[in-house]
Amino acid sequence: MPRLVFLLLITIASSSFAFDSVVIDAGHGGHDRGGIPGQRACEKILALDVAQRLNAALRADGIKTVMTRNDDTFIPLPQRVAIANAQRDALFISIHFNSAIRKGADGTETYYFNRKAAPVAARVQSQLTQVNGHENRGVKRRAYYVLRKTRVPAVLAECAFLTNPQEAARCALPTHRQNLANALARAVKASM
């Protein structure tokens, strides 16, 4: 994404929305491992760990949070959406890790559907890219189920590629997962 468009998304924050709580969605879970066959790093476990760390960081700052899952349980997409839609004045943030057939694929990307969530998505992307220090794959509008069906503004963060050996090794470190959670927390707080 051109830098000008990226900056424009951040500057239109005044036209975004107000929220006082955050629904944190750890992607996958239970029988849904995430990723692709043969991938060594387990997306569902890493996504849950980052989600729990984000939950702790936001709560420490007095921000109300709701988790879609707190353990290795499979939660169907309609139920995740129902949890989000039960909240008023909330932001929904879904945490994932990417995969690709090409092992060299790297970087971070953030998705949104509701245009009100675009500034938050831009902040999430900016913060994650700073932490990861690798390719900025941009902010993209997509009609993923959890983004399209939530009534509250929602973003989906693909934190890194677990099929990339270097990124997977970094994500295996608890300190790096804490850095990812802190980056997400900074983006959320800057959007409030």
Which residue segments constitute the domains of the chain, with CATH numbers given?
Answer: 3-12+22-191 (3.40.630.40)
Mean pLDDT of 143-169: 97
3-class DSSP state of 14: helix
pLDDT at residue number 2: 53
> Which residues of 11-148 form beta strands (DSSP E)?
21-26, 64-67, 90-98, 108-112, 136-141
Q: Look at residue 54 and give its three-state secondary structure.
A: helix
Q: Which pLDDT score, from 0 to 100, does residue 17 have?
A: 77
Query: CA-based Rg of the chain, rounded to a whole angstrom?
Result: 15
Neighbours of 59 (CB within 10 A): 12
Going through the chain in order, the beta strands assigned E by DSSP cover: 21-26, 64-67, 90-98, 108-112, 136-141, 154-161
Model confidence, pTM = 0.92
pLDDT the model gives residue 15: 46
Nearest to 26, CA basis, from 182, 183, 146: 146
